[in-house]
Structure 1
Amino acid sequence: MSETELPLTDMTAEQCLAMADSYAVDENWDEALTVYTAALTIWHSNTAVKFRILSHRSNCFYQLGNYEMAQEDALEATQLLSSSVAGLRPGESEVAWKRQGLAAFQANKFADAKQAFESAAQLATLNQRDGKFYRDWIQKCDTKLNPPAIAQSTTTTAEPLKAQTAPTSASTTVPVSHKPATKTSIIAAPRYQYYQSDKFMTISILEPNLSSEHVKVDWERQRLNVTVVKAGKEFSLIAGPLYDEIDPSESKIQYKPEKVLLKLRKVNEHEWKELMGKESKKATTSTTSSATQPKVRPYASPKDWGTIEKSIQAEEEKETPQGDDAMNKLFQQIYANADEDTRRAMIKSYQTSGGTVLSTNWDEVSKKDYEKERTAPKGMEWKTWEGDKVPMDED
């Protein structure tokens, strides 16, 4: 695939999810669907990751017009919410219910759609978001479930009009309009979340119906400022230095009905620990301060602990490891200095052979199935994940 050379079987569910999200941002729905499905097959224990895969794949099915599968994935994702799911981002549960409602409505399951939109509306209220979107969809569901009766024609009866008599009382009743007192509504600040691949950092602004008139983005090589106008009020959503450098010329903005996506192209292809970084201090300031101020030692100790630590590290490097330690250090050096193909070969051969083979030849390892070729030591028994026994060594 274009995003990475790593086979999906050698990736974690989180890595597959990030890759699929990148395809989805580019609206490459077929590729995204394939990788979401792969992520689901290798998922192990993190419930939040499974919830995210199902919710995102539901949107993928929806975009491809497969509303039955979209509803099924969204339903399975929301069923996970019956128990506490740690690690979910703000608004993710609401979006899953929303996707279930949209898919069910398109599949003509209007009762299910209404129930999903009602759940999403409750979560929107808890998140201090306007629930008008859901109220409109609930009204559409009610219209489908209870279509209005056709009004009877007034031309079928021809009763004579009765003469109206004037009221006997001289006093007339004037209707009084009771206008509700206006309340000052608190506008909740827009929310956002982000996810990444090695090449891109993607920021999702979780506000519907935004356009270029509402969003202002100023990006520099290592700084980002995002301003959003909501209900006539301006919010500074992101402002400050980024964790690492980006290429503004290859970064882009995408406006969608339910959100806005900022796709930042990384200069250095690696995973960021977080979105925002720290302000860099001027070198002149640090040089001046270090030249004029005495060196601060912890607890006012006369010992230079920095020098002591360096001397200990130097002694450890001089030590010659023996036995298994020497072998492990050799393998660590080979792995650290190897290219990507060599590292993949070492990982796959060691893991799939049960620790009996360690190869650096990717051309050979990529074509070989060590799980079928390996044998258990005499007197012991190996089984596959499916429960099939692995042949035993007869020596």
Structure 2
Amino acid sequence: MSKQTFEEANEAFVDDKYEEAYELYTKALTNDDKTDSHFTSKVLAARAQCALKLKRYTDALNDSNNAIELDEKNMKAYLRKGTALYNQDLKEEALKTFVRGLEIDSADDQLKVWKEKCEKEVENKKQPVATTNTEKEKPAATAAPVPPQPAKIKHSFYQTDTVVTIQIPIKGLKKEQVQVQTTDTTLSVETKIPATGNDYSLEFDLAYPIDSSRTNFNVTGSNIEIKLYKRQAIQWTSLDAQSVAGKTQPPVPMSRPVTDKAPSYPSSSQRAKNWSQIEAEIKKDEKDNKEDTGDANAIFQQLYRDSDENTRRAMNKSMYESGGTCLNMNWEEVSKGKVTCEPPDGMEWKKYDS
């Protein structure tokens, strides 16, 4: 029951229904019998991510700490704990969290990105700021107003057998205002919404592996478009790994499999035909008739080559207008009107409609 609720929560999260997802994660934890500490840690880390989306940073920090206590190798919990600390302007503590996570898994690219980001900001914060004696005494600090919640932005994607294209509908952006970072298994997008000035972020573990070295993105007047290059030519049912977790259906290939056996044509024929034998017979007939057709073509080419301009014009016009059934070399006759079709006896000429 708890695992089913966890899956429902993941689906709600992917659909940007964060309040609903948070309630479902809480329900999954309530129904959890706590016999599998790894699973419980996973649900706590997932709820922490949901809390980050809702800007409930204290809740995210508490869930992350509890997840790490149950499973000290839960890398997502370190990532979300550090992110919660960072958003509470506790950047030095956040840096320590990312460093601790990398001590356990030095190959985690998301932790590396956040570690470098925190190192730069901590270093900049330590640099002294020059002041003057004439500076007026500042009034006592007052509580900062709570920023408005950003509008939910529904991203979408479409795909070919090689590329997944993600579209995020945000208007008025320039490319230099958008940060897109990927690893072979993760995606991170950060920018500000021009209409409100609020931060926008999109982060998740990808459902399937990509070639992150080829990732590129573009910003149009109304969209952020991100191209992810697939490692395998399979149908992506979702972008987020959480939404496909636990599903047992095998991936659906998008390209036709290569087979060693040549297809048999026509597939609708009730009697099989040896097309290789038929092809050989056609080539034999062409060889047997080559001499006759070659002589006729040679004669026509010689006539055309040795004729004057008017004769060539007569030959072209008569052959074209008669549908190839009449050759007239007398320009005085041909120039007087349209040359009629003269099919062989016993045959009827019909116009071909393409």
Query: What's the TM-score once normalised by structure 2's chain length?
Result: 0.42
Query: TM-score, normalized by length of structure 1?
Result: 0.38
